[in-house]
Structure 1
């Protein structure tokens, strides 16, 4: 029947919980909240407060209940779902275990991560994000050459079809297709392209049969439970609920995941493949549902921004353990390059973590642990720590030995070797007398010249790139410096400094690292930085005289501790070398061993640089862009050499032309324009904005997370 002159029309809505479709008579000026009230049967004893309208064809939630249907663009041919906003998401934690969480699919992904981390007792959730599982196949092509992703859509007549998804993150796993004729979900409508994730990406726990969005679940599968066995904690799964108190479980991880999970781990072989790993990050400003994720799909929770604020063993047992696990798998999967000595140090620390976990299954260090953190009943320690912090706040960082001479500027001086590498030259290192003062490195021909003459070479180290180049077996202790030009433009100048021994290296490396951050030797962290470098070098030295623990070498599986490349290199000696290296770290307690592992991971030359394959405007050649916590770098695609560095503190603005997917970053004296080939340009944009947000954190305002500021910096104002 046609109602002439009437402004009402029929709207079809599926109530997913009941698998019932209703047709409502609505007006264009009717509010969305009023439509939802029409759907609900007041006599039915059910809480509908978590439900909202989802529009599959437009891939959006209609959560603004005060908006009208006309304002939302809903018309008579629209077909909506009335479905719960909270749905079950299978989350793979950094330690590779799979857990089912109730996650809000209607809020921005950033908010969903904040809530998820709160449930898991992980502080500073802004450092983490969700990403879609990447398969080895995804590393073979750039994102720009992959088939266009599609999403399933239900037609009003009951048929299902696929259309391009409108979200900005174009890496979408295959989602459920709704078959309106029988109210079921069907995966048979997939287009079979490269981007379709398997039904259970890690095949460790069976995915439930296809279920309509919002269908109630009895108890989720894939819950972690601890399984004490001959080999320590093994990975086992329980049919009980994973909701509830997960803190104790998440602070301790399995020694090794199931063989099937490990077989699916992605190992990049080149810098380009490492760049393609970053295709899967979700857009923090869109909801999970808008990015092609459906109930019971799998997403990976990972630390995204490599700047970890206030790691505290007292409050961060879960956070430290998951960070340790992510570091461990990045080493074992060869995402970061390591020397043989570094690899064995990581293996030794991992062995110590496992050994301590066997002794101390709950992961709680004893009261006399070496980190000095109390575990209850340590009120005196807490008071002392608070008083020390107060003293530093009131008197400044140098309230110790030099408090009486506040005008004294600390210096460092010694004979070192120097080289400025240049093309087509065979010049070697030359010996100079170095002095370092107030962020400047001065080189003299001799110590006598330093007292009466001008320096032969002067280098301003503020904002420089500092890369270690250490080979203990060869007695090589070198520091590579990339110094920004005095003017705004021009390439970086590269200098190599070589020290005579590890003690000299520790002092000068610490000074260079502080100078890169704009801090002098007067900074309170200098001595701790020297001590940290010293400690890492000591852990890499073989201890021939130390008696190893009473361990049967046959009980140690080298596959759990070494990357495939290092396994091939060490061959039959692998286990013996691991046990020898373990003698250096066997005194460490559990939390200390994890923190040492994280610290050593952060000291690797390639740590904290997220790579993307790009093309600069006007260039045909593909290049690498490295994004770090304080800078972006133009890098050689094959060697990874830094060609140019731009620092965030010289940045004026950054934005994206969404039409042509091109990004422009404005610096004081130049504009950098490029397109990203290995991921959506929104991913690069979000990394830069995210790191700027991280740099704004401080202990004074760390109690409140400014989500609005995060989205302003990362959202692109789109």
Structure 2
């Protein structure tokens, strides 16, 4: 007997569309029927004998996967008005890599982004996928348009436009099961050929909706990748080569789309488009054959090892290269020419047949690793060798004459020479060496300060800018050294002091040497190592556009070739690693910007998030106004009602919201860096996804 379209027994009709066949079925169900039973009933009603194991139910109106197969229709809130889709979890996705290559991949659209990225990185041979995430591809106009940012940001959510703390829609049943297989069975990663086709193993048809799905468990990631494991990945040797050594000419589509921010506000708006790691691709409005960008999200590169990380090193190098060329990160003219020279060396080395120069010491690799580990242990136990063997309690110090200037509004730069002493983390200034017994003119603790280089090798300017925290904000102090060696020693000491470390720390000498190497690469070379007329150099692929306003093309080529003489003896891997180290030495490296409004303040301000601190910054020039270190952080979470990020420090509580980026994105950066800081030297550690989501989820 029927009553209003339903039976007296409480059953009702449910419409389900099988997307890859465009076939619709109407099933009679009850609310207590579990999701697994619905799928079984649907498959039995179809006349096709195929493997449906890669299919799941998707609810478009609620923007959610019905992934818990033991939950019932009533528990999910599915009623007769709902129209479900029975669709493959693995779909084709266009993936733009850091080197601007665009590849077709088979990605799991039903699991959290974090799990999907793990599988993608596993197939590409990239260790430590926790550093990587996906960025939504948008047009340049959308990046600048505030309304579009807010509209696109809310599209994946439920009709109300709100998010639950778990990052789903308004339904309480939105937790996504991350135990689906991440392996398409046949898919893998395949590069495009120049003809635009795909290189695939013979006989496989990943694009077919009926591609067999082989269950796997990719989400227990092991932190190591054995040297021979590359051969077991599901791609051919041509892909491995293209990922280790990127094409000389990038994808024109990707290059033309390269966003070039013109201000700090533009840089901040870019970060509104990071995808939420705790939600799936489908939940964030990514559909089949859409293009997303794979990028290193967290600038904390752990254990870069040339033996295992050839692909990872190359992709980090490429991301840094395009960040400089697109002016996403700023550098001086001399630094730009140094980076261009390293790029040229990479290009030349990649085009020549090297007798495995980068692995020349492979014969005794295991022994070298053991020796290196023992040396590191000895250094960490004994400290730096600058401490006298007879007095291990003595903390090293620096004393010398340096030039000093405290900038003020409407004043000329007037440096005066004073006597400085640096010990522990304290900097003391006296009028002269003879007055050190009297009251100092200045005494400051550099712990928690910001340290920025201000150098120009050509004019022999070796300056250091210190932003020292105080009750009225950051106090700015400029110091200038006379020589490179003096600069390297004081700069290294200041950088360690800002982290709360002294010169007795084992990393002090390494830091000094790193700074000296960075400076040596910028010195004018005596003579070019190559003839510029024999090279096909397009400066557009080497330097930022602003230098074209200052130099002609031939002049730029000559400058690049001249600088190349300093790095001509580097191997391919050495050139890439030195590029990464030099990139990391830039003042703006590793800072992710967001435009926010602090609580009880209507003015938009700039916030920078780095691996160890949060900074309030000047929106016009990027100067640091205030710093909060993670080491003093007590708690961080999100007030979901007003979409506000709350961070509690020992000294104060900070609360802000962003009109552009979702608060979950900002919170994920903070929690993500905390997660990365917990990594240990144990190479066999398993990636703890549960801990990642706990730290980045955004609830107390």
Deviates more, 1:417-426 or 1:494-503: 417-426
User: How far apart are 1:70 and its partner, in Å?
Assistant: 0.4
Change in Cα spacing, 1:237 to 1:345, as seen in structure 2 (3 Å) is: farther
With normalisation by structure 2, the TM-score equals 0.86
Q: Which runs of 5+ in 1 are unaligned?
A: 154-161, 170-215, 226-234, 369-373
Check conservation: 1:94, 1:323, Cα contact below 8 A.
Answer: yes
Alpha-carbon deviation of 1:653?
A: 2.2
Whether 1:687 and 2:684 are equivalent positions in the alignment is: no
The answer on 1:244 being equivalent to 2:229 is no
Of 630-639 and 498-507, the range deviating more from structure 2? 630-639
The answer to whether 1:131 aligns with 2:123 is no
TM-score (norm 1): 0.84
**1:220/1:588 Cα in 2 relative to 1: closer, same or farther (>3 Å)?**
closer
Q: Deviations over 1:492-543 (max 9, x none)?
A: 2221111012111111111111111111111111111111111111111111
Distance verdict in 2 for CA 1:218–1:304, change over 3 Å: closer
Cα displacement string for residues 132-154 of structure 1 (whole angstroms, at most 9, x for unaligned residues):
1132112322357754668699x
SS of the aligned residue for 1:320 comes to helix
Take 1:708 and 1:220, find their aligned partners in 2: how far apart are those partners?
26
The 1:217/1:456 distance shift into structure 2, 3 A limit, reads: closer
The aligned counterpart of 1:99 is 103
User: Residues of 1 paired with 2:98 and 2:674: CA distance?
Assistant: 24
How do 1:22-37 and structure 2 match up within 5 A? 22-37=25-40
DSSP-derived class of the 2:443 partner: strand
Cα deviation code 1:582-637 (max 9, x no counterpart)? 11111111001001111111111111111111122222322111111111111222
Give the Cα–Cα distance (whole angstroms) in 2 for the partners of residues 506 and 327 of structure 1: 24
Structure 2: 5+ residue stretches without partners: 166-183, 202-233
Is the counterpart of residue 339 in structure 1 residue 320 in structure 2? no
Among 72, 77, 93, the residue aligned to 1:73? 77
- 1:411 is matched with 397
1:655 pairs with one of 637, 642, 659: 637
1:291 CA displacement = 0.3
Determine the C-alpha separation between the residues in 2 that align with 1:165 and 1:617.
23
The aligned counterpart of 1:365 is: 357
> Secondary structure of 1:599's partner?
helix
Deviation at 1:664, TM superposition (A): 2.4
Map 1:313-712 onto structure 2 (within 5 A): 313-360=306-353, 365-368=357-360, 374-375=361-362, 378-392=365-379, 395-398=381-384, 402-426=388-412, 428-450=414-436, 452-485=437-470, 490-544=472-526, 546-552=527-533, 555-571=536-552, 572-700=554-682, 703-712=685-694
Deviation at 1:659, TM superposition (A): 3.0
Distance in 1 between the 2:512 and 2:195 partners? 43
Residue 270 of structure 2, aligned match among 264, 277, 284 = 277
Which string of whole-angstrom CA distances, capped at 9 and with x for unpartnered residues, describes residues 93-148 of structure 1? 10011112221111111111111111111111111100111321123223577546
- Measured in 1, the distance between the counterparts of 2:35 and 2:472 equals 57
Deviations 1:395-443 (A, max 9, x none): 4444787445312221111111122223344472221111211111122
The 1:399–1:528 alpha-carbon spacing in structure 2 relative to 1, beyond 3 Å, is: closer
Give the RMSD, CA atoms, in angstroms: 2.9
CA contact (8 A) 1:252 1:361 kept: no
SS at structure 1 position matched to 2:477 = strand
How many Å separate the matches in 2 of 1:152 and 1:429?
56
Instruction: Tell whether 2:51 aligns with 1:47.
Output: yes
| Residues 1:15 and 2:15 are matched in the alignment | no
Q: 1:497 to 1:539 in 2, by over 3 A?
A: same
- Displacement of 1:40: 2.1
Is the partner of 2:521 in helix, strand or coil? Answer: helix
Q: 1:80 to 1:145 in 2, by over 3 A?
A: closer
The separation in 1 between residues aligned to 2:564 and 2:104, in whole angstroms, is: 36
Following TM superposition, by how much is the alpha carbon of 1:240 offset from its aligned partner in structure 2, in angstroms?
A: 1.6
Does the C-alpha gap of structure 1 residues 457 and 482 become closer, same or farther in structure 2, counting only changes over 3 Å? same
Match of 2:476, SS state, is strand
Q: State which drifts further: 562-571 or 698-707.
A: 698-707
Deviation string for 1:194-238 (max 9, x for gaps)?
xxxxxxxxxxxxxxxxxxxxxx9998997245xxxxxxxxx7754
Task: Give the length in aligned residue pairs.
Answer: 645
Asked whether the equivalents of residues 477 and 502 of structure 1 are also in contact (C-alpha less than 8 Å), the reply is yes
Residue pair 2:114, 2:277 contacting (<8 A) in 1 also: yes
The separation in 2 between residues aligned to 1:706 and 1:106, in whole angstroms, is 20
User: Residues 277, 389 of structure 1: CA spacing in aligned structure 2 closer, same or farther, 3 A cutoff?
Assistant: same
Measured after TM superposition, the shift of residue 689 of structure 1 is 1.2
Q: Cα distance 1:240–1:14, how it changes in 2: closer, same or farther (>3 A)?
A: same
**1:258-305 CA distance string (max 9 Å, x none):** 434322211111111111111210011111110001111111000011
In structure 1, distance between residues paired with 2:164 and 2:591: 23
